[in-house]
Protein backbone atom coordinates (compact mmCIF):
# COMPACT_ATOMS: atom_id res chain seq x y z
CA UNK A 1 0.00 0.00 0.00
CA UNK A 2 1.31 3.43 -0.97
CA UNK A 3 1.80 5.85 1.88
CA UNK A 4 1.21 9.48 1.00
CA UNK A 5 2.58 12.55 2.71
CA UNK A 6 1.88 16.24 2.59
CA UNK A 7 4.81 18.53 1.79
CA UNK A 8 4.82 22.28 2.38
CA UNK A 9 7.32 24.34 0.36
CA UNK A 10 8.32 27.82 1.58
CA UNK A 11 10.25 30.14 -0.72
CA UNK A 12 10.91 33.76 0.24
CA UNK A 13 14.64 34.16 -0.46
CA UNK A 14 13.93 36.59 -3.35
CA UNK A 15 11.28 39.28 -4.04
CA UNK A 16 8.81 36.43 -4.59
CA UNK A 17 6.72 35.03 -1.74
CA UNK A 18 5.99 31.55 -2.99
CA UNK A 19 4.24 28.68 -1.21
CA UNK A 20 3.03 25.28 -2.37
CA UNK A 21 1.33 22.37 -0.62
CA UNK A 22 1.77 18.95 -2.20
CA UNK A 23 0.41 15.46 -1.77
CA UNK A 24 3.09 12.98 -2.73
CA UNK A 25 4.04 9.36 -2.29
CA UNK A 26 6.29 8.98 0.73
CA UNK A 27 9.80 9.68 -0.51
CA UNK A 28 8.60 12.29 -2.96
CA UNK A 29 9.38 11.15 -6.50
CA UNK A 30 8.75 14.00 -8.92
CA UNK A 31 6.01 12.22 -10.86
CA UNK A 32 4.08 11.37 -7.69
CA UNK A 33 3.77 14.89 -6.30
CA UNK A 34 0.48 16.72 -6.85
CA UNK A 35 0.18 20.41 -5.93
CA UNK A 36 -3.12 20.84 -4.05
CA UNK A 37 -2.73 24.54 -3.17
CA UNK A 38 -0.28 27.33 -3.89
CA UNK A 39 0.34 31.04 -3.52
CA UNK A 40 2.90 32.90 -5.60
CA UNK A 41 3.34 36.66 -5.80
CA UNK A 42 6.20 39.12 -6.19
CA UNK A 43 6.00 41.36 -3.13
CA UNK A 44 9.52 42.78 -3.04
CA UNK A 45 9.76 43.26 0.71
CA UNK A 46 7.62 42.46 3.74
CA UNK A 47 8.06 38.68 3.76
CA UNK A 48 8.20 38.60 7.56
CA UNK A 49 4.73 40.14 7.83
CA UNK A 50 3.16 38.27 4.90
CA UNK A 51 4.54 34.74 5.27
CA UNK A 52 2.56 33.32 8.20
CA UNK A 53 -0.83 34.69 7.03
CA UNK A 54 -0.15 33.19 3.58
CA UNK A 55 0.61 29.79 5.12
CA UNK A 56 -2.48 30.01 7.34
CA UNK A 57 -4.59 30.59 4.22
CA UNK A 58 -3.55 27.21 2.77
CA UNK A 59 -5.78 24.14 3.36
CA UNK A 60 -5.56 23.00 7.00
CA UNK A 61 -3.36 25.99 7.70
CA UNK A 62 -0.55 24.39 5.71
CA UNK A 63 -0.26 21.41 8.07
CA UNK A 64 2.03 18.83 6.54
CA UNK A 65 4.31 15.85 7.11
CA UNK A 66 7.46 17.52 5.78
CA UNK A 67 8.67 21.05 5.02
CA UNK A 68 10.97 22.18 2.23
CA UNK A 69 12.50 25.67 2.36
CA UNK A 70 14.68 27.81 0.10
CA UNK A 71 18.11 28.08 1.77
CA UNK A 72 19.37 30.86 -0.52
CA UNK A 73 21.37 32.62 -1.62
CA UNK A 74 19.17 35.66 -1.95
CA UNK A 75 18.05 38.41 0.35
CA UNK A 76 19.72 37.98 3.75
CA UNK A 77 16.42 38.85 5.42
CA UNK A 78 14.33 36.65 3.15
CA UNK A 79 16.56 33.63 3.67
CA UNK A 80 16.44 34.07 7.45
CA UNK A 81 12.67 34.62 7.53
CA UNK A 82 11.93 31.52 5.47
CA UNK A 83 14.29 29.29 7.40
CA UNK A 84 13.14 30.57 10.80
CA UNK A 85 9.49 30.02 9.86
CA UNK A 86 10.15 26.52 8.51
CA UNK A 87 12.17 25.57 11.61
CA UNK A 88 9.49 26.87 13.98
CA UNK A 89 6.66 25.10 12.15
CA UNK A 90 8.70 21.91 11.94
CA UNK A 91 9.21 22.00 15.70
CA UNK A 92 5.56 22.82 16.44
CA UNK A 93 4.18 20.16 14.11
CA UNK A 94 6.87 17.59 14.83
CA UNK A 95 7.86 17.22 11.17
CA UNK A 96 11.25 17.21 9.42
CA UNK A 97 12.60 20.27 7.61
CA UNK A 98 14.82 20.02 4.54
CA UNK A 99 16.13 22.62 2.12
CA UNK A 100 17.07 23.38 -1.45
CA UNK A 101 19.12 26.05 -3.20
CA UNK A 102 17.60 29.09 -4.86
CA UNK A 103 19.79 28.79 -7.95
CA UNK A 104 19.13 25.05 -8.20
CA UNK A 105 15.38 25.65 -8.39
CA UNK A 106 15.70 28.42 -10.97
CA UNK A 107 18.00 26.15 -13.00
CA UNK A 108 15.44 23.33 -12.89
CA UNK A 109 12.69 25.71 -14.02
CA UNK A 110 14.89 27.00 -16.84
CA UNK A 111 15.86 23.51 -17.92
CA UNK A 112 12.19 22.57 -18.24
CA UNK A 113 11.57 25.69 -20.35
CA UNK A 114 14.70 25.59 -22.53
CA UNK A 115 15.27 21.87 -22.86
CA UNK A 116 17.68 19.40 -21.32
CA UNK A 117 20.68 20.17 -23.55
CA UNK A 118 20.52 23.98 -23.79
CA UNK A 119 23.47 25.68 -22.01
CA UNK A 120 22.68 28.62 -19.74
CA UNK A 121 23.86 30.38 -16.59
CA UNK A 122 21.70 31.21 -13.58
CA UNK A 123 22.31 34.74 -12.31
CA UNK A 124 20.43 36.19 -9.34
CA UNK A 125 20.61 39.66 -7.83
CA UNK A 126 23.01 39.77 -4.88
CA UNK A 127 24.05 42.70 -2.74
CA UNK A 128 26.54 45.56 -3.03
CA UNK A 129 26.58 45.46 -6.84
CA UNK A 130 27.32 41.74 -7.00
CA UNK A 131 25.46 38.87 -8.66
CA UNK A 132 25.03 35.30 -7.42
CA UNK A 133 25.61 32.89 -10.27
CA UNK A 134 26.20 29.28 -11.22
CA UNK A 135 26.62 27.11 -14.28
CA UNK A 136 24.14 24.26 -13.80
CA UNK A 137 25.35 20.74 -14.46
CA UNK A 138 23.23 18.42 -16.54
CA UNK A 139 21.42 15.84 -14.47
CA UNK A 140 22.08 12.15 -14.90
CA UNK A 141 20.06 9.23 -13.58
CA UNK A 142 21.25 9.94 -10.04
CA UNK A 143 20.37 13.63 -10.19
CA UNK A 144 22.95 16.36 -9.64
CA UNK A 145 24.86 17.87 -6.75
CA UNK A 146 23.76 21.30 -5.46
CA UNK A 147 25.14 24.16 -7.55
CA UNK A 148 28.45 25.79 -6.70
CA UNK A 149 27.32 29.37 -6.09
CA UNK A 150 29.63 32.36 -6.56
CA UNK A 151 29.17 36.07 -5.91
CA UNK A 152 30.89 38.42 -8.37
CA UNK A 153 30.68 42.16 -9.15
CA UNK A 154 28.50 42.85 -12.20
CA UNK A 155 31.27 44.39 -14.34
CA UNK A 156 33.69 41.57 -13.58
CA UNK A 157 31.11 38.90 -14.38
CA UNK A 158 30.14 40.67 -17.61
CA UNK A 159 33.75 40.53 -18.74
CA UNK A 160 34.25 36.84 -17.96
CA UNK A 161 30.94 34.95 -18.33
CA UNK A 162 30.34 34.18 -22.00
CA UNK A 163 27.24 31.93 -21.84
CA UNK A 164 24.64 33.18 -24.36
CA UNK A 165 21.51 32.59 -22.29
CA UNK A 166 21.24 34.14 -18.82
CA UNK A 167 18.38 33.11 -16.53
CA UNK A 168 17.26 34.64 -13.24
CA UNK A 169 16.55 37.92 -11.46
CA UNK A 170 19.99 39.27 -12.44
CA UNK A 171 19.72 38.29 -16.11
CA UNK A 172 18.83 41.74 -17.46
CA UNK A 173 21.50 43.51 -15.42
CA UNK A 174 24.20 41.17 -16.69
CA UNK A 175 23.14 41.31 -20.34
CA UNK A 176 23.02 45.12 -20.14
CA UNK A 177 26.51 45.14 -18.59
CA UNK A 178 27.68 42.99 -21.53
CA UNK A 179 26.44 45.65 -23.95
CA UNK A 180 23.29 43.74 -24.84
CA UNK A 181 25.13 40.55 -25.74
CA UNK A 182 23.09 37.44 -25.00
CA UNK A 183 19.50 36.63 -24.09
CA UNK A 184 18.10 37.61 -20.68
CA UNK A 185 15.34 35.40 -19.26
CA UNK A 186 14.11 36.94 -15.99
CA UNK A 187 12.93 34.30 -13.52
CA UNK A 188 12.28 33.96 -9.79
CA UNK A 189 12.03 30.68 -7.86
CA UNK A 190 8.53 29.21 -7.73
CA UNK A 191 7.61 26.82 -4.92
CA UNK A 192 5.24 24.98 -7.26
CA UNK A 193 8.28 23.74 -9.23
CA UNK A 194 10.22 22.24 -6.32
CA UNK A 195 9.64 18.63 -7.40
CA UNK A 196 11.53 19.35 -10.61
CA UNK A 197 14.59 19.07 -8.37
CA UNK A 198 16.13 15.63 -7.81
CA UNK A 199 16.29 14.40 -4.20
CA UNK A 200 20.02 15.21 -4.14
CA UNK A 201 19.15 18.92 -4.46
CA UNK A 202 15.96 19.19 -2.38
CA UNK A 203 16.83 17.09 0.68
CA UNK A 204 19.61 19.30 2.04
CA UNK A 205 20.30 20.03 5.71
CA UNK A 206 18.45 23.28 6.54
CA UNK A 207 21.38 25.66 6.93
CA UNK A 208 21.32 29.09 5.26
CA UNK A 209 23.44 29.70 2.19
CA UNK A 210 24.05 33.45 2.00
CA UNK A 211 26.35 33.16 -1.01
CA UNK A 212 28.89 35.60 0.40
CA UNK A 213 30.17 36.92 3.72
CA UNK A 214 27.93 38.83 6.07
CA UNK A 215 27.80 42.63 5.69
CA UNK A 216 28.00 43.29 9.39
CA UNK A 217 31.20 42.85 11.39
CA UNK A 218 31.36 41.70 15.01
CA UNK A 219 32.01 44.52 17.45
CA UNK A 220 35.47 43.12 18.28
CA UNK A 221 36.46 43.17 14.58
CA UNK A 222 35.17 46.70 14.16
CA UNK A 223 37.16 47.84 17.18
CA UNK A 224 40.34 46.26 15.77
CA UNK A 225 39.86 47.92 12.37
CA UNK A 226 38.88 51.36 13.69
CA UNK A 227 41.64 54.00 13.83
CA UNK A 228 42.61 55.15 17.31
CA UNK A 229 40.84 58.26 18.58
CA UNK A 230 43.38 61.09 18.96
CA UNK A 231 43.83 62.45 22.45
CA UNK A 232 42.27 65.85 23.00
Q: What percent of the chain has pLDDT over 70?
A: 85
Specify whether the CB–CB gap between 38 and 191 falls below 8 A. yes
Quick one: 95 and 111 in the same domain? no
> Can you list the positions of beta strands (E) in 43-149?
66-70, 97-100, 121-125, 130-134
Quick one: 138 and 63 in the same domain? no
Quick one: 48 and 114 in the same domain? no
Quick one: 116 and 176 in the same domain? yes
CATH code of 175's domain: 3.30.420.40
**pLDDT band at residue 202, thresholds of 50, 70 and 90?**
very high
Assess if residue 136 is contained within a domain: yes
Quick one: 91 and 180 in the same domain? no
pLDDT at 178: 96
**pLDDT 10s digits, 52-102:** 999 999 999 999 999 999 999 999 999 999 999 999 999 999 999 999 999
Which residue range forms the structural domain that includes residue 88? 4-102
Quick one: 17 and 66 in the same domain? yes
Return the closest-CA partner of residue 17 out of 45, 37, 40. 40
Assess if residue 64 is contained within a domain: yes
| Strands laid side by side in the 165-167 sheet | 150-153, 130-134, 121-125, 165-167, 183-185
Taking the whole predicted model, whether its pTM rises above 0.85 is answered as yes
Quick one: 97 and 109 in the same domain? no
Residue 225 in this model has a pLDDT that exceeds 70 = no
Amino acid sequence: MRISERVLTIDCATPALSLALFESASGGASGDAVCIAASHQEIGRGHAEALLPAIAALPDGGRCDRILVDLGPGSFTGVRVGLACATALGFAWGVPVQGYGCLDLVAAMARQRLGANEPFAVVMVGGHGELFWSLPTFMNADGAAPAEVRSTPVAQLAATLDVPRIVGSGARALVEARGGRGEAIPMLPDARAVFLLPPTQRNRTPHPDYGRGADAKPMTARRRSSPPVPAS
